[in-house]
Structure 1
């Protein structure tokens, strides 16, 4: 037997140890990966549910009165006579707020009244006294004279009645013109603005005399983008928040969405390629109104508020992780009696957690929430875990 040198012996021992350690390390890695792969490949199954996708539509608007009245100075009515209210006054529907004075309107009314009175006097005199007939003593001749006089009296009476009717019409019109000199409140409300210092401006500038806001519920008014116009509808519920009171919320409902851009504006298209146009793309804005349905509380007119629109649409929801895209189609793996099935679906809206399925599934479908590339249509799945 040949005796090994010391350095040769150490080399053999080192090599053996390296082999053993390497083998153990390899087994450890394989064992760990096998467990991890098995855990990852274990299907999790969850039943589809019916519900709504959380809306991500956010709007801004301003709190306004649901009914308000502006009274502007109108020089065509005459000279301003008096503003009968002050800021802060509570007014009732029909209460006089502003009066004008017009000599022409008063004169027209007085003349119409005199015409009516004159027609009344003449008609009364004719009906009371009739007409005078000179008799001759000849019965036949006198009879003819009386008949002719009666016809004349009837004709005069008819003319007087027509004249009186015309005079009454003129009097009513003149009275309406006088009534128009007094401007009244259209609803119960609060006076929030009064301006007595106005002039007969020739520039067409609108001058507010009185501004009244109703005491009813408030509204929120704002503008929608053309994208939001296509995704919102009247009747949807909203949650309202204000920076002034960040810890408070109000509820409301969309009551109006205009189908026409604000002030008739139109979007300006960008110039076509190669053209010399300088147009720029812009988005049209569409007015909307939200009725506030909760208690007003600290909310005040004029506040700027944020609105989150709630989605009222109910649909079939599955976890977003269960949807598999394949080209331009989308699929969900379902589990029916232990058999995996690949089902083509049509997608709706989605949020961070859920995907709405427009077609392809029912609320009773069980879907695999963690499908893998190794799944095959018709494959038997013996071991899976139900997820809540």
Structure 2
């Protein structure tokens, strides 16, 4: 029994030695087998560098307002209001009469101006027709002198009368214009949205609205920019407009106006104090898509569209080392480290302004084991 046990142990030990020997022999016969998982990187993904635009970081807010509207304010210099021709909800065209002032005083002024002009016209006609009489003495030299003197006098009177007629005609034209302006007409095609007949000279308000006309189909977006936004926004830039009321819809537009001056009382505060939060500059956006369900007064969000094109890679592909930036590319199945110059970035994409070309294969998420010239096995990430 004792010998048998020894033999059994020796047998098992021999089997173990044989196994170890077989492993060592395999390694000696195939020295590259132990490096098969380290000389070639596997499990990597890559994306193809493409040209595109990143999302804009400039977001604004604004209010939908009428792009075409007309306010008719009461003008006390024209007299008392006589007639309001329209009512709320009426549709009007360009030239439709809206209101008329009392023209009795204006008509009297016009009539007086016409009479004064006509009086001068009669004087001119009389002078040209009848002239002046010259008494002849029979002395040729004296008579010639008197005729010449009288002619000069007639010419001067005629010139003065012509000047007076021109002044009188100007007064007639002015009175006629005032008479015509007594009737205020519409300057836009639209709907009358407000009518106020209870206005008078006794009211001290300088902006008494009599009639308000709005073109309901012509809308724009108005708002204010901060001084920091001015550097990123220019007239004619395209924008995307969204509304919380209709979250599934969007509209397109274009910046049509940016004021060079801060709005309201902020102009006086531009000198700057430590407590100044920044000036506001009015801007306007013209809609370039159908108005649809947008209405005046809606609050909307405005995203400035970035139309500039550059090479884009995933933000995860960029590796920063000692104040330089790199990406790992795949060339002929091998890893290559490339220094790049970066532009702007959003949540997913990074602009590359130098170092790459469109179509380069860029490793999406590089790891520390990558080496220049080392073979890599990677598959392309699907595009969204």
Equivalent position of 1:229 in the other structure:
230
Correspondence for 2:299: 304
Residue 70 of structure 2 aligns to a residue whose secondary structure is strand
Report the equivalent of 2:46: 45
* SS at 2:306 equivalent: coil
Q: Which residue of 2 aligns with 1:26?
A: none
Change in Cα spacing, 1:39 to 1:220, as seen in structure 2 (3 Å) is: farther
Distance 1:323 1:35 in 2: 28
Q: Please name the residue that 1:181 is paired with.
A: 182
> What is the TM-score of this pair, normalised by structure 2?
0.78
Partner Cα separation in structure 1 for residue 345 and residue 329 of structure 2: 19
Q: Deviations over 1:240-278 (max 9, x none)?
A: 33343344333222222334332252579775xxxxxxx
Asked whether the 8 Å contact 1:315–1:358 carries over to 2, the reply is: yes
Deviation at 1:59, TM superposition (A): 2.9
CA contact (8 A) 2:40 2:375 kept: no
Moved more, 260-269 or 89-98: 260-269
1:321 matches 2:322: no
Match of 2:92 in 1: 91
For 2:159 and 2:278, locate their aligned partners in 1 and report how far apart those are by CA, in whole Å: 69
Q: Structure 1 pair 260/36, CA: closer, same or farther in 2 (3 Å)?
A: farther
Two-structure CA RMSD over aligned residues (Å): 3.4
Range with bigger deviation, 119-128 or 307-316: 307-316
| Residue aligned with 1:384, SS | strand
| Distance across 1 between alignment mates of 2:138 and 2:230 | 96
| Inter-CA distance 327–101: structure 2 relative to 1 (3 Å threshold) | farther
2:8 equivalent in structure 1 = none
Q: Which runs of 5+ in 1 are unaligned?
A: 3-33, 272-278
The answer to whether the Cα contact below 8 Å between 2:315 and 2:350 also exists between their aligned partners in 1 is: yes
- CA shift, 1:348, in A, is 2.3
Distance 1:252 1:35, change over 3 A: farther
1:346 to 2:341 alignment: yes
Shift of 1:208: 0.9
Matched, 1:151 2:152: yes
Q: What SS class does the counterpart of residue 231 from structure 2 fall into?
A: helix
1:184-263 alignment runs, 5 A limit: 184-201=185-202, 203-214=204-215, 217-263=218-264
Offset of residue 347 of structure 1: 2.4
Alpha-carbon distance in structure 2 between the residues aligned to 1:100 and 1:242: 43
Kept in 1: contact 2:256–2:285 (CA 8 A): yes
- State the distance in 2 between where 1:322 and 1:92 align: 61
Question: Is 1:295 aligned to 2:278, yes or no?
Answer: no
Q: 1:129 to 1:233 in 2, by over 3 A?
A: closer
Equivalence map 1:36-185=2 (5 Å): 42-101=43-102, 105-135=106-136, 144-185=145-186
Aligned length, in residue pairs: 350
Note if 1:282 corresponds to 2:277.
yes
State the distance in 2 between where 1:208 and 1:103 align.
23
Query: 1:119 Cα shift?
Result: 0.9
- Aligned-partner Cα distance in 1 for 2:273–2:240: 36
Whole-angstrom CA distance in 2 between matches of 1:127 and 1:178: 33
Distance change in 2, residues 1:104/1:35 (3 Å): farther
For residues 153-197 of structure 1, the C-alpha deviation after alignment (integer angstroms, 9 at most, x for no partner) is 333222221221221122222333333333332222222111111
Q: Which moved more, 1:361-370 or 1:197-206?
A: 197-206
Distance in 1 of aligned mates of 2:188 and 2:312: 48
**Deviation for aligned residue 1:314:** 1.1
Please report how far the alpha carbon of residue 327 of structure 1 lies from its aligned counterpart in structure 2 after TM superposition. 4.4
**In structure 1, C-alpha distance between the alignment counterparts of 2:101 and 2:52, rounded to whole Å:** 61
- Tell me, in whole angstroms, the C-alpha distance in 2 between the residues paired with 1:267 and 1:169: 46
> Any idea what SS the aligned residue of 2:118 has?
helix
| Equivalent residue, structure 2, for 1:383 | 377
Matched-pair contact (CA < 8 Å) for 1:269–1:282: no
Residue 355 of structure 1 pairs with residue 350 of structure 2: yes
Which residue of 2 is the match for residue 334 of structure 1?
329
TM-score normalized by the length of structure 1: 0.77
Which segments of 5 or more consecutive residues in structure 2 lack a partner in the other structure?
3-34
